[in-house]
Structures are given as structure tokens and as C-alpha cells.
Amino acid sequence: MKKERLLEHYSRFSTREFEASMTYHGDDLGAVWTEEETRFRVWAPTAEQVVVNLYRTGEQSDLLQKIIMKKASGGTWTATVRGNLNGIYYTYLVTVEQETKEAVDPYAKAVGVNGKRGMIIDLSSTNPPGFTSETKPEFINDTDAILYELHIRDFSIDPSSGMVHRGKYLAFTETGTKNSYGDATGIDYLKQLGITHVHLLPAFDYGTVDEARLQTPQFNWGYDPVNYNVPEGSYSTDPYRGEVRIREFKQMVQALHSQGIRVVMDVVYNHTLESGNSNFNCIVPGYYYRLTPEGDFSNASGCGNETASERVMMRKFIIDSLLYWNREYHIDGFRFDLMGIHDIRTMKEVRKALDEAEAGILLYGEGWTGGLSPLPDHERAMKSNIRSMGGGIAAFNDNIRDGIKGSVFHQEEPGYISGKPGMEDTIKYGVVAATQHDWVDYSKVLGADYPWALEPTQAVNYASAHDNHTLWDKIALSTPYDSREDRVRMNLLSAAIILTSQGIPFWQAGEEFLRSKPLNEEKTWFDGNSYASPDRVNSLKWELVTENREVVDYYRGLIEFRKKYSVLRMTKTAELEAHLHFLKWLDTNLIAFILTHPKEGEVCVIYNANKSWQPVHIPEGEWKVYAKGKRAGNQVLDTNTGGVVNIEPISAMIMVR
């Protein structure tokens, strides 16, 4: 469609008249299957004609039938086909202003290879035994979560995983797997580690891995959505048969749940791989995206386009999609990619819809965009607006991320753990989960001079994610003259900060075994953007869980401790104000605080980023030490009577009385 015409459509879509007459509220968009018939309904309010094509397969020239659809309510078109169509593939032919395009149904629940066609499916046939009656691991408060960010292929593709279904959903169903040292890998390892949620990098159908040539190793993070309501095919054992990826995805979720681990999906509703030729745009040109005044796709995602969540039917699509993943696949939480592209109202409606569906569904996202957006600042679901979004939506705390290890944009810049002075208030800002606390000097906080979180449930604290260098690589790049021993201590101190801070702790898989993404043999050059890098860079190297066992044990110990002490997981800012007190008059690079709880006692946490032993004066009493030096856990390591305690170089100390 010509830009002038597209802009005319675009401006009409925003009018009340259009919304009033052309909004569809029903829950039957897509292909609704029964044994007797399948009913199709697609929203195409500007179309002159819509046809359903039925095919035998997901890719070949094997058209079975064309059915002309009828105009129906709210801008939709419908058709009903008699007979059992389970396993039949379909597309829509949509004609707008005499231009006809073939598109996959955005509401398709199954697709063929590379997502080129939708597939009609009897979803009940895809449930593994016991799936519909499974019970989820208990989960109460958002701050009880310990999030582990994982790419499905990375998890198992390396031979060191000892797994059979390498690179596949089914790898998560494999128990008893071991590395060459005989230590647990895979799901057994995750269970032992004690994390509460696996956060999967994009697992819906994306475009950049060719599912038709899986014998050739290919890798992508998957931030290029094609079919939002269907699992990615390359992680299945057969991407040609639409039902296989669905069943295997469910087996993965079921396996994780059975080991006590919940599942978060990374969702990328903010843009699509294609712009003008995307399924959305072929069906309703100009509706689902924001355009510039010139009629070009605006690009706040940095990936070529940005969706328009403020439009009623885009908002409905997002909510319907999330509810579907929750209901059909039992997904327990969603991480919004570039959440700042979405409007606040949409995110609040998402929260409400999920709350009505099930308690305990996590929602968090990146509180920024990847470029300029025409959506006004005050309407964006940005970190800076998160206070107005309620306690049930969280944002990544990039202030503590950069405070701990140094800016992600300057690889040689150190942070608190690696000796950068003046970072105390930024770390304290993380400790209070970016909320209002009298004992934080906000004027000294890196990148924010105010508490952006209303409640501690709104801050996801982290030092590493898939973006940028791994924590271990960042430490190496920013401390060229330090010993390995000191670098290990820096990593441990980072973990102690993340896991003793209020808010929701998060890290990239493998941070706890010093995951690295080296680009050369000498390991002096590291991949800071491995979105399409080969497996040898990205995969989890499972030998590291043995070779860096002391680091894994430290993380595991901190996780145990965090789970035991609810005072580390407070849910209200008012509780923090009452029960979290920082010690004053400390020397440089020292932070200490005491948490008080009527039953759990007092928990004293001290961070020392100095390379020397440091004395710290604490209240007198019978203190039991649970973390010091390179050890942490629920075992008492030592006792003292308070007064002056000495803290090892680059380490944390945790005591309880």
C-alpha cells in the first residue's frame, strides 16, 4: 500500500468511530477446532475479501480448498468448515484496496516448518500424560523468586551436558545427566542449585533459525518474533509436524514443575521480524504498528518497527496471547522485552487479566526502549514510570547492575566489586530495591537521583543478563592486573549483593560457574553481543560446574540462606523503612546493614570491596556467622560477640543473632 493511503488508514484507526464499530471482544479469534467442524474468525476490518486456504502440509503446493469468508461483527470475518480438520494447515488471503496478501493467522495455535502456515489442532491431543492435572511449585510473594535466565539451546547443546536431546525442549526432561567429572548437569543441577524460576529466552516461533536445515548448527537468541502463540520449531524434534513442538514444550514445562522450578517466558510483543510483510500488516495494513508522520515504520525497538499496544486490538492480542500461554502451557511469568515501548495502560490491563487467571504470575520487563518512539514519555511503561504501574510489575535495576560491575557500555570500567570508589549509595540503592529509604543518599546513586520503585517487588536486581559481557568476562576486562583469586572474590561479592538485596534477584545462567564467552584461544577477547554467535561461544560448558565448584557452592549457599530468611524478601517499602537499618560512619567501600524480624532475629550483612581486611563495628551480642570469605549457607561457620569484626578482603559477611 502506498504511504499516503497507509497514513489515511492509520489516522482513521485512532478515531472513536473506528474503535466503536470495529472492535471485536470475543474469545474465538483463530481456528476453533471440534471433531465435527472448525470455525475460523479473523479480524480484518479494512479488507474487501478474506479467503481461508486449506493445505495438506505446512509448506508444499498442496492446496486442498479455498473458502470465502463472510463479514461478521466487530470487523471480523468468519467461515465454518465441516469435518475433522485436526492436522490441516491454513493461511488467510486478505485483499485490502485490491492488493491481496497471504498471511498466517496471528492467533494460530500451531504452525508448520518455519511458521509459514498455521495448523488446525486438537490441543488436547498434545498434552503429555499428567499435564492437565499437574501441580505447580508453591510460590507466594514476587520477592520469593530467584530468577535464572536461560537459552533453551545453550542449556544442553554442548557435549559436556551429557544429554541425549541436545538443543531441544526434551533436554529438560532428562534426569541423571552428568559431566565428565560425574557431577550433575541439566535439570538435576538446577534443582540442586535451588533457583525458583527458569526464565527462558524467546521460545515462541521466531524467524532467524531455519527449521528446514537443523542438521547445520545455527544459533540465535530469538528476538525476532513470527508466530507469537506457537513454540519455536528448532527446539523440537520435528518442526514439520505442528503438534510435536507443542507437546515437547509442554513436556519441558512439566519436567521443570516436577522438579520444583517455575517457568518464565521472555515475550517480545514490542516488534516483529518483518514490517510491511508481517502477518499483522498483511491482514490490517498500518494498524498494529506506530508510524512516523511520513508513513514509515517508527523504530523504538531498533529492529525495524514497533508495535502499537495502545491500539485496542493490539492490546487485546497481547493479553489474549499471555493468557493462552498461561492456560495452555502453564507458564508462570513473563519478562517483557523493551517494555518501555508498550503503554502503561496495556501493562496494567495485562497485570489485571493475569491476576484474574491465576495468583503468583510474575511480570517484569526492560524499562526502556531501543530507540525513539512517538508514544509520549508519560504513557510509556518505562522504569521511570513504574511507580504508577503498581507493585505487580517490575523493571530491571540497571543502576545496581552498573554499580556492581561497571557500565555495560564501557567494558574497561570497574564497579563496586572491582574497586571503583564512591559506589556505596548505588549499592545501597540496590539493597533497598530502588525504593524510598531514609538512609540512602539518592544524589550519589549512579544513573538515578530518586527511588524509581514504589515497592521492593518492582525491582529486579542483577549483575548479568544475556545482553553484554558475562559477569566473569566483564570482571576480567575491567581488572587487567588482578589475580584470578581476586576476580573470583569479586564475583562472589556480586552474588552476595544480589542475593541479600531486597527485590527480585536474577542472573544469566552460568554466572554461578564463571560462564565465559571467549572469542579467541587465549581468552583475552570476549563476546559482548552473542545473539547470533556459534554454540562454542554461547553454550553452557558443564565441566565448569566442577572446575568452579566453590563458586557454585557459594551461590547455592546464599540461595538457601535467602530462602530461609523472609526478612531478605520483604514486600513493602514501609517494612524496609522499619526493619532495614544501615550502619553509619563506615570507611570507604564498606556497606553494612541490619535486618530485624520478630521471629528470625537480626541479620547483619557487610560488604567489603576493599582489597584489605577491614574492621567494622557492629552491635554486641551472640552472632552466628553464615557467610564469610568464600563460603556461605545455612551452616554456622563461626561465632562472635560483636563489637569489632574483621571482614576478609573483597568479601561479604553475614551474621544472625
Buried b (16+ CB within 10 A) or exposed e, 30-55: bbbbeeeebebbbbbbbbeebbbbbb
Using CB under 5 A, pick the residue from 142, 144, 154, 205 that binds Ca ion.
205
Q: Which is nearer to Ca ion, 109 or 401 (CB)?
A: 109
Q: Which is nearer to Ca ion, 154 or 232 (CB)?
A: 232
DSSP labels, 577-637: HHHEEEPPSPPTTEEEEEEEETTTEEEEEEEE-SSS-EEEEE--S-EEEEEETTEESSS--
CA–CA distance, 280 with 535 (Å, rounded to integer): 32
Indicate the residue whose CB is closest to Ca ion.
205
Given the rule CB under 5 A, which of 126-134, 199-207, 308-316, 520-528 is the region that contacts Ca ion?
A: 199-207
CA–CA distance, 567 with 600 (Å, rounded to integer): 8
Which residue type is seen at 18? F
Given the rule CB under 5 A, which of 29-37, 200-208, 303-311, 405-413 is the region that contacts Ca ion?
A: 200-208
Given the rule CB under 5 A, which of 50-58, 72-80, 203-211, 375-383 is the region that contacts Ca ion?
A: 203-211
- Least distance in Å: CB of 114 to Ca ion? 6
- Least distance in Å: CB of 209 to Ca ion? 6
Q: Which is nearer to Ca ion, 231 or 403 (CB)?
A: 231
- Least distance in Å: CB of 366 to Ca ion? 23
- Least distance in Å: CB of 234 to Ca ion? 6
Decide: is 306 part of the binding site for Ca ion (CB under 5 A): no
Touching Ca ion, residues 478-507 (CB under 5 A): none
Which entry of 174, 205, 337, 482 is annotated as an active-site residue?
Answer: 337
CA–CA distance, 231 with 247 (Å, rounded to integer): 10
Touching Ca ion, residues 219-278 (CB under 5 A): 232-233
Q: Which is nearer to Ca ion, 115 or 333 (CB)?
A: 115
- Least distance in Å: CB of 240 to Ca ion? 12
**Would you call 57 helix, strand, or coil by DSSP?**
coil
Q: Which is nearer to Ca ion, 142 or 205 (CB)?
A: 205
List beta partners, residue 33: 38
C-alpha of 381 from chain center: 16
Residue 23 makes CB contacts below 8 A (sequence gap 6+) with 74, 75, 312, 313
- Least distance in Å: CB of 208 to Ca ion? 8
358 is catalytic: no
Q: Which is nearer to Ca ion, 158 or 205 (CB)?
A: 205
- Give the strand pairing for 459-462 and 643-647: unpaired
149 is catalytic: no
- Least distance in Å: CB of 425 to Ca ion? 45
Q: Which is nearer to Ca ion, 233 or 286 (CB)?
A: 233
CA–CA distance, 440 with 428 (Å, rounded to integer): 6
List beta partners, residue 460: 396, 504
Grid cell locating 487 = 576476580
- Least distance in Å: CB of 211 to Ca ion? 5
- Give the strand pairing for 49-55 and 89-96: antiparallel
Q: Determine whether 186 is exposed, middle or buried from the number of CB atoms within 10 Å of its CB (0-12, 13-18, 19+).
A: buried
What DSSP character marks residue 359? T
By rule CB under 5 A, what count of residues binds Ca ion?
Answer: 3
Buried b (16+ CB within 10 A) or exposed e, 270-288: bbbbbbeebbbbbbbbbbb
Q: Which is nearer to Ca ion, 267 or 498 (CB)?
A: 267
Which entry of 149, 366, 402, 602 is annotated as an active-site residue?
Answer: 366
CA–CA distance, 301 with 307 (Å, rounded to integer): 9
* Residues 50-79, mask of contacts with Ca ion (x by CB under 5 A): ------------------------------
- Least distance in Å: CB of 338 to Ca ion? 20
Closest CA to 205 of 235, 179, 185, 225: 225
Beta-strand ranges (E) seen in 244-318 are 262-267
Q: Which is nearer to Ca ion, 58 or 333 (CB)?
A: 58
DSSP labels, 268-285: -TT--S-STTSHHHHHST
Catalytic residue numbers read: 337, 366
Contacts with Ca ion, residue ranges (CB under 5 A): 205, 232-233
